């Protein structure tokens, strides 16, 4: 009987994030286009003889207690399937925290998928997504991966055609970690919903059409249509991020933007050589930089 499983869990970026409404539960209605990227954590799950859930992480800044989303995912599965026993969850962290890259959500998604496989529960993707939505808005996407349109809280997914080999430069300022609740709260308290520059241009439909076309011009079209409402809340408070975005835009990139609530800024590059040049130009001691490609899935055997 298998007693352990090792999975890779991919980060995501937002190619598009439009806030379309305030919800009474404090959340926001969203239209997002999400993309898995080849920046992955490894999540190892091992069955143990007790009912305990033990989480460890190579990044000492990650809390490994009950607040960790991977722990919460395991606890949720134990509550629904009491026959599954305890487990050790070891996270090898590559995805930065407070980055807008859904690192914690990716770990939780890997735990859901890993438990399903390890205990042979035979869950469908839709059942896994129902569990995922109970844990966090981004987690259903982290179960499914690839390219998707997300609406509602971000948990209602429609798959989009794969964007193969989109080349990206991912930049994370080391000293800036942004709280997602703070970003949304700032957006709401500043009344930014009222003057949404994307609404009248139907930008999300234009981007969906560009992705559906799936031809050589798709990356350039996506680059021109990048949109993130949370920039309007976050960037006024973080001039360093404005400077980083401007520096990316000064390079020969197809577009640059903040991912999610930040602090990651990314650029779309025309090809790998161009991406490497952009990465060299923006890299400093203060900014971690990765050149990555888009992925068509989010959870892999490690």
- Residues annotated in a binding site: 96-106
Site string for ligand C5P, 110-149 (x = CB under 6 A): --------------------------xxx-----------
Contact 40, 160 (CB under 8 A): no
| Interface with ligand C5P, residue 12, by CB under 6 A | no
| Interface with ligand C5P, residue 228, by CB under 6 A | no
| Interface with ligand C5P, residue 184, by CB under 6 A | yes
Q: Determine how many CB atoms are found less than 10 A away from the CB of residue 251.
A: 18
271 is catalytic: no
- List residues forming the annotated binding site for ATP: 96-106
Supply angle C-alpha 190, 258, 110, rounded to 5.
110
Alpha carbons 66 and 75: distance in angstroms, whole number = 9
| Interface with ligand C5P, residue 30, by CB under 6 A | yes
Could you give the residue ranges of the DSSP H alpha helices within 57-161?
69-80, 103-118, 125-135, 139-144
**Would you state the torsion angle of the CA atoms of residues 147, 36, 2, 108, taken in this order, to the nearest 10 degrees?**
-100
Which of 153, 221, 232, 293: binder of ligand C5P (CB under 6 A)? 153
| Interface with ligand C5P, residue 27, by CB under 6 A | yes
Least distance between ligand C5P and beta carbon 219 (Å) = 27
The pairing of beta strand 86-92 with beta strand 53-57: parallel
| Interface with ligand C5P, residue 22, by CB under 6 A | no
Closest CA to 141 of 154, 153, 152: 154
Interacting span for ligand C5P (CB under 6 A) from 26-34, 108-116, 219-227, 263-271: 26-34
| Interface with ligand C5P, residue 78, by CB under 6 A | no
H/E stretch holding 275: helix 272-282
Phi, psi (rounded to 5 degrees) for 265:
-110, 140
Alpha carbons 173 and 257: distance in angstroms, whole number = 14
Q: Compare residues 98 and 154 and give the one whose CB is closer to ligand C5P.
A: 154
138 is catalytic: yes
Catalytic residue among 8, 12, 72, 172: 12
| Interface with ligand C5P, residue 206, by CB under 6 A | no
Which of 114, 154, 173, 260: binder of ligand C5P (CB under 6 A)? 154
Interacting span for ligand C5P (CB under 6 A) from 27-35, 108-116, 208-216, 234-242: 27-35
Alpha carbons 271 and 167: distance in angstroms, whole number = 6
Catalytic residue among 41, 116, 138, 155: 138
| Interface with ligand C5P, residue 181, by CB under 6 A | yes
Least distance between ligand C5P and beta carbon 109 (Å) = 12
Alpha carbons 226 and 91: distance in angstroms, whole number = 32
Q: Which residues pair with 289 in a beta bridge?
A: 171
Helix axis angle for 69-80 and 103-118, nearest 10°, is 30
Catalytic residues: 12, 138
The residues binding ligand C5P (CB under 6 A) are 27-28, 30, 136-138, 153-154, 180-181, 184
């Amino acid at each position: 009987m298998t007693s352990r499983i090792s999975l890779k869990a991919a980060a995501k970026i937002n190619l598009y994030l439009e806030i379309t409404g305030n919800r009474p539960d404090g959340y926001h209605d969203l239209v997002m286009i999400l993309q898995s990227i080849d920046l992955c954590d490894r999540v190892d799950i091992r069955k143990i003889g007790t009912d305990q859930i033990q989480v460890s992480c190579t990044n000492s800044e990650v809390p490994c207690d009950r607040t960790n989303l991977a722990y919460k995912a395991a606890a949720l599965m134990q509550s629904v399937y009491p026959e599954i026993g305890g487990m050790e969850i070891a996270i090898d962290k590559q995805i930065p925290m407070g980055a807008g890259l859904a690192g914690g959500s990716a770990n939780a998604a890997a735990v859901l998928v890993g438990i399903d496989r390890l205990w042979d529960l035979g869950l469908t993707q839709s059942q896994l997504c129902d569990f995922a939505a109970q844990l966090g808005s981004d987690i259903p996407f982290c179960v499914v991966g690839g390219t998707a349109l997300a609406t509602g809280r971000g948990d209602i997914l429609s798959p989009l055609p794969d964007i193969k080999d989109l080349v990206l430069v991912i930049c994370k300022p080391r000293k800036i970690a942004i709280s997602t609740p703070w970003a949304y709260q700032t957006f709401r308290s500043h009344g930014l919903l009222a003057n949404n520059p994307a609404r009248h241009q139907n930008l999300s439909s234009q981007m969906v059409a560009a992705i559906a076309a799936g031809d050589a011009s798709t990356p350039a079209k996506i680059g021109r249509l990048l949109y993130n409402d949370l920039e309007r809340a976050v960037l006024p408070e973080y001039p360093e991020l404005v400077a980083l975005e401007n520096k990316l835009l000064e390079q020969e990139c197809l577009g640059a933007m903040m991912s999610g609530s930040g602090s990651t800024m990314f650029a779309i590059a025309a090809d790998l050589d161009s991406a490497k040049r952009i990465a060299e130009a923006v890299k400093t001691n203060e900014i971690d930089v990765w050149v990555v490609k888009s992925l068509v899935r989010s959870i892999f055997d490690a």
